[in-house]
Structure 1
């Protein structure tokens, strides 16, 4: 399983959270504590929102712990909203195109989990991507396919609804093809203003997710990092969490819960 981190709040240098803390995301790339896969060395990426309309994006296939370019960028870039990801590949080769976050317009997306049996239903899943977005498909992972499929829905008006519709269709494709493996989806989505965090799976065992109130803003992560005195709160399965203007709103994913099978 991959590890990721997202932050929303007062502008800070990226290395403040990604590199400096105890058990930081970069350290988790070498020694994750709450993942079945301890080493997440199949590439890394970071996306951030700055002065321009669309987010900045950096990806690399080196492990995060040995990527000097990532360390230099994090030391220099300051942002009030950013997403970062270290990858342990479950589908798709180890290539830059398969590294998270993925971008489309102002949206950034990253994912921890998998569509069970993806290789046997990949063609059907990719068919969910609208024609006008298919040219954006750069890699061959299930994560990117899910993101672009959801972007074809009402993402700007109703992000949770677009994600729910995509997951519902993916689950139906699994069932129609006799795929017994679960669909697991812990993910972060942002449009540059709000952070949307999702934790759901078809077998009630979604990858972990936590959030914490920092002095400067809100952090959302696969596993806690930093000072052990910080209060990290687990995000319950079947939850859609929205972070905007320093406020956290956790909502039930009733539409997701009805899909469990």
Structure 2
């Protein structure tokens, strides 16, 4: 399906996230270790927060390992909060408007997974989106529709509750159409200050998701590792799969869990869809 990462901490150059790690996102584009597909070459996107009022986004339909413009950009651009996503389509077109992360105002959203039998439930889900939001949908993916369902249910006010309600609506629609397992998801969303990441599936066997161990703990464990001394204490990553093999650096996010990252603090909460 897809792979993604969500970074927050001190400003970091994009190539330090996308290219340099042993199992970088660019490497995962060709050789994902934990994804359903080993190749994720149907486009990519990067979102980051700088000095402008809204986050920047860069999307391309090129395979991530083949895009020279991304390589040039990544060597110059830096940010303290970065979303990056590589795509393996589940059937919708390879086009820029279908590349994650999606943006609405200050919010970014990216998804790995699928709304099962999306053509069957698409109309029902579209009808549940607020009329004032629906015209903003630019692409044709289930992931973007999921985003606008969450916005409809109050993502900008209470993200955990909004995503729970959106998933509840998706599962209800799916089961009314005879779909046994309506949703498979890892999702990340941010307003530029806090990141919320979710791991859930209707079947209880969700796509992989990991969070980083706090930097102070890793420094104590590996005092001679120079990379750990270059990272700020508030550095946090949530990723589809670990970026490297340093023992103890990555913790698996339990199934049916929401991870909340804010100011270097990280909390895990049980996640359950809201009943419809």
Name the TM tier (shorter chain): over 0.9
Who is 1:141 aligned against?
141
Who is 2:101 aligned against?
101
**Aligned partner (choices 225, 240, 261) of residue 258 of structure 2:** 240
Q: TM-score, normalised by structure 2?
A: 0.90
Distance apart, 1:227 and its partner CA: 4.9
Deviates more, 1:196-205 or 1:150-159: 150-159
CA contact (8 A) 2:102 2:108 kept: yes
Who is 2:130 aligned against?
130
Distance apart, 1:180 and its partner CA: 2.4
What aligned pairs does 1:71-220 form with structure 2 within 5 A after superposition? 71-212=71-212, 213-214=214-215, 215-216=231-232, 217-220=235-238
Once residues 59 and 129 of structure 1 are traced to their aligned partners in structure 2, the CA distance between those partners, rounded to angstroms, is 25
What per-residue deviation string (whole Å, max 9, x for no partner) do you get for residues 215-261 of structure 1? 330111000013524510000001010000001100111x33x76xx
Instruction: Sort the Cα spacing of 1:14 and 1:230 in 2 relative to 1 into closer, same or farther, 3 A.
Output: farther
Once residues 164 and 116 of structure 2 are traced to their aligned partners in structure 1, the CA distance between those partners, rounded to angstroms, is 17
What per-residue deviation string (whole Å, max 9, x for no partner) do you get for residues 124-144 of structure 1? 112222111112111110000
Once residues 94 and 205 of structure 1 are traced to their aligned partners in structure 2, the CA distance between those partners, rounded to angstroms, is 27
Once residues 136 and 68 of structure 2 are traced to their aligned partners in structure 1, the CA distance between those partners, rounded to angstroms, is 28
Once residues 58 and 74 of structure 2 are traced to their aligned partners in structure 1, the CA distance between those partners, rounded to angstroms, is 10
Q: TM-score, normalised by structure 1?
A: 0.95
Who is 1:20 aligned against?
20
What per-residue deviation string (whole Å, max 9, x for no partner) do you get for residues 55-79 of structure 1? 0000000000001111111111110
Structure 2 residue 40 is the aligned partner of structure 1 residue 34: no
CA contact (8 A) 1:92 1:139 kept: no
Secondary structure of 1:30's partner?
helix
Once residues 170 and 227 of structure 1 are traced to their aligned partners in structure 2, the CA distance between those partners, rounded to angstroms, is 36
Once residues 129 and 52 of structure 2 are traced to their aligned partners in structure 1, the CA distance between those partners, rounded to angstroms, is 27
Consecutive unaligned residues of structure 1, counting only runs of 5 or more, are none
Instruction: Sort the Cα spacing of 1:93 and 1:54 in 2 relative to 1 into closer, same or farther, 3 A.
Output: same
CA contact (8 A) 2:175 2:182 kept: no
Aligned length: 257
Once residues 177 and 36 of structure 1 are traced to their aligned partners in structure 2, the CA distance between those partners, rounded to angstroms, is 25
CA contact (8 A) 2:259 2:269 kept: yes
What per-residue deviation string (whole Å, max 9, x for no partner) do you get for residues 28-76 of structure 1? 0010000120000000000001111210000000000001111111111
Consecutive unaligned residues of structure 2, counting only runs of 5 or more, are 216-230
